[in-house]
Amino acid sequence: LITDPACHHQHIVMDAVHLQQITCVTLYLLFLVMMQPSLIFVMLLATLLTEGLAGTATTTITPKGPSKEESKKSAKLPPCAACRMLTDTFKKGLERTSRSKFEGGDAAWEEKKMGSYKTSEVRLVEIQENLCSEVDRAQKQCQGLAEDHERLLEEWWHEGQAESLHDWLCIGKLAVCCQAHYYGPDCVPCTGGAEKPCAGHGKCKGDGTRKGNGECQCDDGYNSTLCDSCATGYYESYRDATKLLCSKCYRACNGPCSGAGPKTCAACKDGWRMDTEFGCVDVDECHAMADACTGNQFCINSDGSFSCLRCDKSCDGCDGDGPDMCDNCANSFTYDQDKGMCID
Ligand SMILES: *[C@@H]1O[C@H](CO)[C@@H](O)[C@H](O)[C@H]1NC(C)=O
């Protein structure tokens, strides 16, 4: 308007435009103010209606919130795992479509037909149509990713598929994963080196992803930053320049030990005592403690412990199980000399 050659006086035109704008805004505001009560009413009604409907829907179909199946499908995986899920389902698609559809024809024709099908648009479409169909957990996320990265999947398909899809997409294009035994934003080697992280006895936090700190979470029995020493309660049963094997101390050991067997314990657990000749040996509580069991019970010793069991119902106190082990007979029972037990 301003540059319209028909306009001689720019400022007049400006004023006209201004005026027009002001009028328009005023009218719009006026419209809004007038419409507001009914607008609010309509919106309120709509909200109530949808909420009411949603409410009845959820109460009638799923009374206890989303079903297990549903929450499984809506689960969310971290970025690298999600990308792997996508490339895995794509791989499944490749497998699904790898068998010849032209079986039964003559070999040469089939070969030719299959050869062109292998890298064809038709096959890609078939794969893409069924992406995520077999995915159980986080299926919704899978479908979202498939949609978001449709272009990239096509690009990989048409660019000759030289690299594995996972490496190309998840490590390269999307940069959410790293090669195995590398971690973090810059994909640096895990603690202990990418060759054998955590000395082969632990998991590197963030292994294969752009996350984590690369620290080792040692397997049971291993300890230290590198998992290259034995944890308390374990001893080195084998060690050479490259290999370490830690084994559990004897079950009666309390804390560390210097090797296998009861004699190597630094200390014994409760219920065991240190014997100068045999190391940790069981304490027979039933004999060591006169009142190990009280009342109508008898004592059974076990390794490192003991238990109290109920006497026979004919007994009032006993030394073992059965009516022939009574100390005294219970009320309404009398001792039978011949049988050697309490009888009714
Ligand atoms: C591992 O080593 C640390 C430091 O030496 C120690 O505090 C911790 O108790 C050890 N853990 C086990 C299970 O041996």
| 91 lies in some domain | yes
- Determine the pLDDT at residue 11: 43
Mean pLDDT of 300-317: 95
pLDDT for the residue numbered 44: 45
Summarised one tens digit per residue, pLDDT across range 100-119 is 555 555 666 666 666 688 88
Mean of all residue pLDDT scores within the chain: 84
Confidence of residue 137 (pLDDT cuts 50, 70, 90): very high
How many angstroms is it from 203 CA to the middle of ligand 1? 17
Do 166 and 79 belong to one domain? yes
Asked whether residue 179 is domain-assigned, the answer is no
pLDDT of residue 29: 46
Which pLDDT score is estimated for 116?
81
Measured by CA distance, the residue closest to atom 5 of ligand 1 is 224
CA pair distance 40, 46, nearest whole angstrom: 10
Q: How many CB atoms lie within 10 A of CB 264?
A: 16
* Ligand 1 atom at minimum distance from 230 CA: 14
- Using DSSP's 3-state secondary structure scheme, residue 28 falls into helix
The predicted pLDDT at position 304 comes to: 95
Cα distance between residue 277 and residue 257, in whole Å:
16
Same domain, 163 and 83: yes
The structure tokens 């200390």 sit at 267
Q: Residue 36: pLDDT band by 50, 70, 90 thresholds?
A: low
User: Across residues 309-322, what is the average pLDDT?
Assistant: 94
| Percent with pLDDT over 70 in the chain | 76
User: Where does the pLDDT of residue 138 fall: very low under 50, low under 70, confident under 90, or very high at 90 and above?
Assistant: very high
List, in sequence order, every beta strand (DSSP E) within the chain. Answer: 182-183, 188-189, 202-204, 216-218, 222-223, 229-230, 234-239, 244-248, 272-275, 279-282, 297-302, 305-310, 315-318, 326-329, 334-336, 341-343
228 and 256: one domain?
A: no
Cβ of residue 77 lying under 6 Å from some atom of ligand 1: no
Please name the residue whose Cα sits nearest to atom 13 of ligand 1: 231
- Which amino acid, one-letter code, is at 181? H
Q: Can you give the three-state secondary structure of 5-26, one letter per residue?
A: CCCCCHHHHHHHHHHHHHHHHH
pLDDT 10s digits, 318-329: 999 999 999 999
Closest atom of ligand 1 to 231 CA is 14
Question: Is the residue at 180 inside a domain?
Answer: no
Task: Look at 251 and 46; give whichever has higher pLDDT.
Answer: 251
For ligand 1, say whether the CB of 89 is within 6 Å of any of its atoms. Answer: no
* Nearest atom, ligand 1, residue 223 CA: 1
Are 87 and 43 in a shared domain?
A: no
Residue, of 61 and 340, whose pLDDT is higher: 340
Q: What is the crossing angle of helices 139-148 and 150-158, to 10°?
A: 60
Length of the chain counted residue by residue: 344
Q: How confident is the model at residue 9 (pLDDT cuts 50, 70, 90)?
A: very low
Selected residue with higher pLDDT from 105 and 185: 185
CA of 230 from ligand 1 middle (Å) equals 9
Residue type, 159: E
Any ligand 1 atom below 6 A from CB of 217:
no
Q: What is the DSSP string of 63-103?
A: TTSS-HHHHHHT----HHHHHHHHHHHHHHHHHHTTS-SST
pLDDT at 124 over 90: yes
Shared domain check, 169 and 79? yes
- The answer to whether residues 200 and 211 belong to one domain is yes
Q: Note down the domain range covering 29.
A: 5-56
Q: Residue 243 domain-assigned?
A: no
Mutate to test the pocket of ligand 1, among 232, 236, 254 (most ligand atoms within 8 A of CB): 232
- pLDDT per position as a tens digit, 12-26: 344 444 545 545 444
Residue 145's identity, in one-letter code, is: L
pLDDT in tens, 219-236: 999 999 999 999 999 999
Residues 128 and 167 both lie in one domain: yes
Which residue has its alpha carbon closest to ligand 1 atom 1?
223
Is residue 23 one of the residues assigned to a domain?
Answer: yes
Instruction: Considering only CA atoms, give the Rg of the chain.
Output: 39
Amino acid at 320: G
Q: Where are the beta strands (DSSP E) in 7-125?
A: none
Task: Please indicate, yes or no, whether residues 99 and 152 belong to a single structural domain of this protein.
Answer: yes
Q: Is the CB of 302 under 6 A from ligand 1?
A: no
Task: Please give the single-letter amino acid code of residue 319.
Answer: D
Output the pLDDT for position 280.
98
Return the ligand 1 atom nearest residue 232 CA. 14
Q: Give the C-alpha separation, 232 to 221, whole Å.
A: 8
DSSP at 250: P
Residue 70 lies in a domain: no
Residue 199 domain flag: yes
pLDDT in the model for residue 40: 45
pLDDT of residue 103: 55
Flag whether 178 is in a domain.
no
Question: How far is C-alpha 187 from the geometric centre of its chain's CA atoms?
Answer: 23
- Looking at the structure, do residues 111 and 168 belong to the same domain, yes or no? yes
d(C-alpha 170, C-alpha 80), whole Å? 7
pLDDT at 98: 85
Residue 228 phi, psi dihedral angles, 5° rounding: -110, 25
pLDDT at 295 > cutoff 70: yes
Question: Does the Cβ of 231 fall within 6 Å of ligand 1?
Answer: yes
**Of 164, 177, 185, whose CA–CA distance to 81 is shortest?**
177
Distance of CA 321 from the midpoint of ligand 1 (Å): 46
Q: Is the pTM of this model over 0.75?
A: no
Q: DSSP labels for 144-173?
A: HHHHHTHHHHHHHHHTT--S-HIIIIIIII
Q: Which atom of ligand 1 is nearest to the CA of 233?
A: 14
Which of 60-64, 155-159, 197-201 is predicted with the least confidence, judged by mean pLDDT? 60-64
CA dist., res. 268 & res. 275, Å (int) = 10
Specify the number of domains making up the chain. 5
